[in-house]
Amino acid sequence: MVIMTMTSSPAFLPVLERIAEEIERTPGRGRPADYIPALAACDPRRFGMAVAELDGTVYGVGDWRQPFSTQSITKVFTLALDLAREGDELWEHVGREPSGNPFNSLVQLEYEQGIPRNPFINAGALVVTDRLQTRTGDAAGELLAFLRAESGNASLEFDMEVAASESQHGDRNAALAHFMASYGNIDNEIPVLLDQYFRQCSVAASCADLALAATFLARHGIRADGTRLLTRSQAKQVNAVMLTCGTYDAAGDFAYRVGLPGKSGVGGGIVAVVPGRCALCVWSPGLDERGNSVAGVAALDRFTTLTGLSVF
Active site residues: 72, 75, 197, 248, 266
Query: What sign has the CA pseudo-torsion 204, 206, 208, 210?
Result: positive
The burial of 117, by beta-carbon neighbours within 10 Å (0-12 exposed, 13-18 middle, 19 or more buried), is given as buried
The C-alpha atoms of residue 59 and residue 8 are separated, in whole angstroms, by 8
Question: Which residues, including other chains, have CB under 8 Å from residue 68's CB and lie 6 or more apart?
Answer: 42, 204, 205, 206, 267, 268, 269, 283, 285
Tell me phi and psi for residue 154, to 5 degrees. Answer: -75, -10
Find the length of the chain: 312
CB count, 10 Å around CB of 17? 15
Amino acid at 127: V
Q: Contact, 297 vs 258, CB < 8 A?
A: yes
Give the C-alpha separation, 239 to 87, whole Å.
Answer: 15
Q: Name beta bridge partners: 280.
A: 51, 272
DSSP string spanning 35-70?
TSHHHHT--TT--EEEEEETTS-EEEEESTT--EE-
